[in-house]
Amino acid sequence: MAQTSSNATFDLSLCSRWIIAGVVAILLLTPINQCFGQEKSETWMGILKVGPQQLRLQLRLKPEKDGTYSGVMVSLDQVATPIPFDKVERTAKQLTFEIKKLGVSFAGDMNADQTVVTGVFTQGLNFNVEFKLVDDWKPAKHIETWVGKMEAGPKHFDFQFRVFVNFQGKKSIQLDSFTEGINGLEGGFEQKGDRVTMTIPATAAKVIGKLEADGKVIDGTWIQSGAKLPLVLKRIPIEQTKSPELKRPQTPKPPFDYESDDFKVQSSSIDKKYSSDVVLAGTVTTPKGQGPFPAVILTSGSGPQDRDETIFEHRPFLVIADYLTKKGFAVVRYDDRGIGESKGSFVDATTADLANDLEVVFEWTQQNPKIDPEKIVLAGHSEGGIIGPIVASRNADVAGVILLAGTGVTGREIVLNQTRKIAAVAGLPDEILDLQDELLRLALTRSNENLPMDEAFANSLNGIFADLSEDEKLKYGLNDVATKTTMMFKSKWMKYFLEFDPATALSRTHCPVLSLIGENDLQVDPQLNMPAIKSAMDKAGNQDFTQILLPGLNHLFQKCETGSPSNYVIIEETLDATVLSEISWWLEARFQ
């Protein structure tokens, strides 16, 4: 919904690498203090301009008794959940804050009367932002709910618009897209006679419609990027408003019948060859008792991932850790560098850098007295399934490797394959799929030739879709795909990923290996990757290799019908029980 581009834009995740279209993806800002030096909270408002999008940012800052400050960041046009600052400083001359989980920082200068702060907001890219001091924020009252379904080509969006009124009598909306798991996307609401206008700045979209005489129906049009799609909304009783909370019944709840300890390890303390700027933080769960226990280290897929590999409120690594620890295994999971409690630059990291991080955690785990250093297994999901073999291929002490949707071919092949398969499952016609392929091949060629991914090149890519109308571009998610593609292809991570061949490390991995791939995985296609992985194992002469195709499971190992990434959020199951049992059986047979 945010943008219907999910039909066509490649999901270059291997679990969700870039929120870059949302490099401001989760921008949430909060207030600062109205009377500096007094114990009174402040609220500041600013607008972050990202291309055609304008995101309203709110800062809420609270003075503490010791003279320091705490606060949260809220993006009123995106996820309306406050995110606390890890660090915030406010003086008469400056305001700075940092949110490590999002890779967000801000540094700005105050004007003379401390009512305006102007500075640079950073999240991968730099944005100039001005914040102004405003009256204290007060919650608005929920007064109406409108629901409707929109068809955008092969995709269907299930919308809920919640209407609010604030203490000044001004109305606003919060948009929930249940299809996408996007909740609380804030916007404006205006009504003049029977004409209703709702704006969603975060997606540069708006709904314009006519309110029927009975006040129960808005016959409207969704307008975005020059295209128009019909959208009829019906008013429902407030008590029938759906909760935007996502149900995740598999998420383990305390108390736990095992030990759980957090840790931090500075990379250079393990070996001086590792960066002193990287500090890795995580959690190790161990069965009760003396040990030492066999252990599994979990490494996440692409993108900025926390130790639970949280995605759409699913926490698959927490589910795996809970299950295996109850089976008698210690489990280590950690935040990516620069994410959560870990330190370092994630934006500049390649797969090779992340492999170094896993190696640090592996060597730290070997020193843990509760863990058997000869029985440590590396289990990685998606890109983590590339990283594990890299570390195992250069460390004879690794006892085993588990590939959870790990790849066996180069990133170039992955990009072309997953983009077409995801778009095809979304129902895009062959002629659109062919245009997508043409765009990607041109981008891949340019990347291979080390030519700049600049605006001129993006404009030339847009020429591929010259024969399509604006409605067709929006319908098929092509309205900004050229810009997003060039932005992605600029990154160091992408350049490395495109060229790296996982078979290189796999062919030098001689410890026991388990490879699991879902039958309906569209991001790591089993038909493309399973033969390549087996071929690499044969080349290695690996005598203990097990490969299993799991029926009906997607890239996240959820039971599904199509495997479309758009369904990850609406599936309540975090991880199919078959995956847990296969991992457990394989581990128990070798290490217990």
pLDDT over 70 at 16, yes or no: no
- For 362-418, how does the pLDDT look when each residue is reduced to its tens digit (9 = 90+)? 999 999 999 999 999 999 999 999 999 999 999 999 999 999 999 999 999 999 999
Angle of CA points 275, 280, 284, to nearest 5°: 145
Nearest to 360 by CA among 262, 259, 281, 260: 281
Tell me what pLDDT residue 9 has.
Answer: 34
pLDDT computed for residue 469 by the predictor: 87
Sheet containing 279-286: order of strands: 259-266, 279-286, 330-334, 293-299, 371-381, 400-404, 513-518, 545-550
CA-CA distance, 412 to 24, in Å (whole number)?
A: 27
Short-list 398, 415, 409, CA closest to 504: 409
> Given this model, what pLDDT does residue 34 score?
29
- CA-closest candidate to residue 14, choices 437, 475, 429, 381: 381
**Residue 83 tokens, joined:** 């995110």
Residue 169: partners with Cβ closer than 8 Å, 6 or more residues away: none
The confidence score (pLDDT) of residue 4 equals 33
Query: Which residue type occupies 222?
Result: W
How far the first Cα of the chain sits from its last, in Å, is 48
Give the per-residue pLDDT at 235.
96
Is the separation of the CB atoms in 200 and 77 below 8 Å?
A: yes
Banded model confidence at residue 259, pLDDT cuts 50, 70, 90 = very high
Structure tokens that stand for 515 in this block: 């490879």
DSSP secondary structure code for residue 242 in this structure: P
Identify which has the larger pLDDT, 472 or 279.
279
36: how many CB neighbours lie within 10 A of its CB?
14
pLDDT tens track for 216-227: 999 999 988 777
Q: What is the mean pLDDT of residues 231-242?
A: 93
Kindly tell me the sign of the dihedral angle through the C-alpha atoms of 339, 525, 420, 563.
negative
- Which of 517 and 313 is assigned the larger pLDDT? 517
- Mean pLDDT estimate for the chain: 87
Task: For residue 571, give the DSSP letter.
Answer: -
The answer to whether 486 and 12 are in contact (CB under 8 A) is: no
User: What long-range pairs does 471-474 form, CB within 8 A, spacing at least 24?
Assistant: 471/227, 471/228, 471/229, 472/227, 473/225, 473/226, 473/227, 474/4, 474/152, 474/224, 474/225, 474/226, 474/227, 474/229
Residue ranges matching CATH 2.40.160 in the chain: 4-134
Summarised one tens digit per residue, pLDDT across range 350-368 is 999 999 999 999 999 999 9
**Widest CA span of the chain, in angstroms?**
76
CATH 3.40.50.1820 placement within the chain: 259-409+501-591
Q: What is the pLDDT of residue 80?
A: 53
Alpha-carbon separation of residue 148 from 145, 233, 272, 358, 395 (angstroms): 10, 5, 58, 46, 56
pLDDT tens by residue, 89-126: 999 999 999 988 778 899 999 999 999 999 999 987 88
Q: What are phi and psi of 373, to 5 degrees?
A: -65, -15
User: Of 3.40.50.300, 2.30.42.10, 3.40.50.1820, 3.40.50.880, which CATH number belongs to 259-409+501-591?
Assistant: 3.40.50.1820
Please provide the CATH number assigned to the domain covering 4-134: 2.40.160
* Dihedral angle, C-alpha 191, 194, 197, 198, nearest 10 °: 80
Q: Do 287 and 329 touch, CB atoms closer than 8 A?
A: yes
Report the pLDDT averaged over residues 253-266.
95
What phi and psi values does residue 251 have, to the nearest 5 degrees? -60, 120
Q: Is 349 helix (H, G, I), strand (E, B) or coil?
A: coil
By the 8 A CB rule, do 17 and 163 touch?
A: no
Check if the beta carbon of residue 334 is closer than 8 Å to that of residue 309. Answer: no
Question: Which amino acid, residue 199?
Answer: T
Q: Are 533 and 505 in contact (CB under 8 A)?
A: no
Please confirm whether the linkage preceding 452 is cis (ω < 30° from 0): no
Burial class (CB in 10 A: 0-12, 13-18, 19+), 201: buried
> What percentage of the chain exceeds 90 in pLDDT?
61
**Both structure tokens of 89:** 């400083």
Residue 352 has a pLDDT of: 96
Q: State the sign of the Cα–Cα–Cα–Cα dihedral 461, 465, 467, 470.
A: negative
Residues of CATH 2.40.128.30 domain(s) within the chain? 141-240
Peptide bond into 252 cis (omega under 30): no
Q: How far is CA 17 from the centre of its chain?
A: 7
If residue 46 lies in a helix (H) or strand (E), which one and from where to where? strand 42-50
Question: What confidence score (pLDDT) does residue 152 get?
Answer: 75
* Contact by Cβ (8 Å): 62, 38: no
Q: State the Cα–Cα distance between residues 356 and 319, nearest whole angstrom.
A: 25
**Contacts of 8 by beta carbon, 8 Å cutoff, 6+ apart:** 419, 423, 426, 428, 432, 436, 476, 477, 478, 481
- Domain range 141-240, CATH architecture: Beta Barrel (2.40)
C-alpha to C-alpha distances, 161 to 51, 204, 234, 571, nearest whole angstrom? 25, 16, 10, 22
pLDDT of residue 33: 29
Q: What is the pLDDT of residues 316-353, one digit of tens each?
A: 999 999 999 999 999 999 999 999 899 999 988 999 99
Query: From its phi and psi, is residue 141 left (phi > 0), alpha (psi between -120 and 50) or beta?
Result: beta
Q: If DSSP codes are grouped into helix, strand and coil, which group holds residue 355?
A: helix
What average pLDDT score do residues 564-585 get? Answer: 93
Instruction: Give ∠ CA 224-230-233 in degrees, rounded to 5.
Output: 105
The mean per-residue pLDDT over the stretch 424-438 comes to: 91
The percent of residues in the chain predicted with pLDDT above 70, rounded, is 90
Predicted local distance difference test score (pLDDT) of residue 47? 87
Q: What are the distances in angstroms from CA 48 to CA 22, 29, 175, 202, 301?
A: 12, 11, 19, 10, 29
Give pLDDT, residue 54. 75
User: What is the DSSP pairing of strand 513-518 with strand 545-550?
Assistant: parallel
